[in-house]
Structure 1
Amino acid sequence: MLLAVDIGNTKIKAAVFEDNALVEKFSFPQEEAVTQVAEILKKYPRATKSILSSVGKEQNELLLWLKNNTLFTGINHTSVFPFTNKYATPATLGIDRMVLAAGAVLQHPGKNRLVIDAGTCITYDFVSGADDYLGGAISPGLQLRYNAMHTFTAKLPLLYPEMPQSFTGNSTAQSMHVGAVNGLLHEIDGFVQQYVEQYQDVTVILTGGDADFLAKRLKNTIFANSNFLLESLNHLYHYTNRND
């Protein structure tokens, strides 16, 4: 069994895999990292292997614990990936984006793939059918849009995502929901349409914490999978160990 760990900007997500089957998923604050991981491995003593990627702050204590207690694989820019990285500044490309691109290649071979990660920020990552990573886009995530409206104005309240009932808001709160949610939905649909127009056949994968919230309202055909990054880590572990 394998323990996959994703250190994000706000939380740590982890999952235990049996081959390619996700057995159980976990989410916990960064300050509880070692305690929570130790509990997971106590529950699943056969999870003797681990893989970790991080875009959050360094978790040196957790890294040391995993190295001492599991067969550890850390993902960084020098790791083996199943695509050719054509990003103009490859050293600045987020590890989470690279893992998602790898998962798209390994799970959807031979396709043009667009991976949309709806988390703290929205990231768009495109990998061609020839397995060339070409780049994408970064924009504010859903809650960031609400936070910005509250922080940078004098009177707008701090709200949390709520699906608007109409495209015309009839109150300040509803107008903010329309702007934040519908604005993001139109953004995603617009990006997808641009890629479809240029590349025709595109497999679109939507993941991240807001994936399920957004998926049903999008016009384009997508694969919505909030666990895609953890699954991608699992696939990348097997790929990395086959190609060492």
Structure 2
Amino acid sequence: MILAVDIGNTNIVLGVFHNNKLISNFRLATDYLKTTDEYASIIMLLMEKKGIDIDNIRGVIISSVVPSLIYTFSKLCRKYLNSEPMIVGPGIKTGVKIAIENPKEVGADRIVNAAAVISMYGYPAIIVDFGTATTFDVINKNGSYVGGLICPGIKLSIKALHTGTAKLPEVEIEKPERIVGSNTIRSIQSGIYYGYLSMVDGIIERIIDELKCDTKNLSIVTTGGLGSIFVEESKYLQVYEPNLTLEGLRIIYEKNN
């Protein structure tokens, strides 16, 4: 079995693979102050409840956008799993040709997502990830990662709206039945949902124009916790892959073994 760990700014997602199949996954809140032992106790308990024997884990791969937690989880792997983890970064084969000004600037999670999409859907492709930030990643017709866009995430926008005003509440994120809200909460939900939907479709449209590619051959893949609610209404979002990053980590692990 392989353990894949994706450390994000808001959540840490872990997936256990057996024979290239995801058999279980877990989601933890990212906490910069937790110790190795504290994280280990939570993870071991979750695995035990799912009937996963940690002695059967033969390898670990980690991607992280939080540098301090790479050390924490590397120590956890050595201490509790008797495994030296593979860290996505320089020197790791990903199968992704990076064609931007400074490849070191690209977040590990974005490269992992690109590796997954290239393997699963081919190219050209656009990846939309609804995470702490809403990101767009672009793979051109030659299979090269050529960059993307980074926008404020949905939850960040809601929090900013709440904290930056005197009376507007923090609301749940959901698709409203009507675009015109009949009260304050519905108005905020409509603004957030349809505002982001319009932003996503508008950006994708501009990317397509810039790439000058045939949309018949273009794959547009969505991931991230909130991605699913936009697929059905979007003009361009085609498929939702909730475990895209975990699958990308598995693919990269196999490439390096």
- Could you tell me which runs of 5 or more consecutive residues in structure 1 were left unpaired when the two chains were aligned: none
| Post-superposition CA distance 1:85-118 (Å, at most 9, x none) | 1122222111111111111112223x20111110
- CA deviation vs aligned residue, 1:50-71 (integer Å, no higher than 9, x gap): 1011113522232112134125
Aligned to 2:251: 235
* CA-CA distance at 1:152 after TM superposition: 1.5
Instruction: Say whether 1:162 aligns with 2:174.
Output: yes
Which amino acid letter does the alignment assign opposite residue 17 of structure 2?
F
Shift of 1:221: 4.6
1:84 is the counterpart of 2:97 = yes
Q: Distance in 2 between matches of 1:61 and 1:91?
A: 22
Decide whether aligned partners of structure 1 residues 89 and 158 sit closer, same or farther in structure 2, where only a CA change above 3 A counts: same
Does structure 2 conserve the Cα–Cα contact (< 8 Å) formed by 1:119 and 1:208? yes
1:10 touches 1:56 (CA, 8 Å); kept in 2? Answer: no
Larger deviation: 1-10 or 43-52?
43-52
Once structures 1 and 2 are overlaid, which stretch shifts more, 208-217 or 222-231? 208-217
**Is contact 2:11-2:28 (8 Å) kept?**
yes
**Is contact 2:13–2:25 with CA below 8 Å preserved after alignment?**
yes
The residue number in structure 1 matching 2:120 is 107
Q: What amino acid sits opposite 1:86 in the alignment?
A: A
Q: Partner residue of 2:20?
A: 20
Deviations 1:203-235 (A, max 9, x none): 011001111222222222511011101111111
Output the CA distance in 1 between the equivalents of 2:45 and 2:255: 27
> How far, CA to CA, are the matches of 1:134 and 1:181 in structure 2?
28
User: What is the TM-score normalised by the length of structure 2?
Assistant: 0.87
Q: Is the 8 A contact 1:77 1:95 kept in 2?
A: no
Residue 38 of structure 1 is matched in structure 2 by 44
Cα distance per residue 1:160-192 (max 9 Å; x no partner): 212111111222211111111111111111222
Corresponding residue number in structure 2 for 1:48? 58
Uncovered stretches (5+) of structure 2, i.e. residues with no partner: none
**Counterparts in 2 of 1:57 and 1:35: CA distance versus 1, 3 Å:** farther
Out of 43, 67, 86, which is 1:73 matched to? Answer: 86
For residues 124-159 of structure 1, the C-alpha deviation after alignment (integer angstroms, 9 at most, x for no partner) is 000113121100101011111111111122221111
CA contact (8 A) 1:34 1:61 kept: no
Q: How does 1:47-196 map to 2 (within 5 A)?
A: 47-56=57-66, 58-59=68-69, 60-68=71-79, 69-109=82-122, 111-196=123-208
TM score, norm. by length of structure 1: 0.91
Letter aligned with residue 10 of structure 2: T
Pairwise CA RMSD of aligned residues?
1.8
Go from structure 1 to structure 2 and tell me whether the alpha carbon gap of 1:222 and 1:55 turns closer, same or farther (over 3 Å shift): same
Moved more, 192-201 or 46-55: 192-201
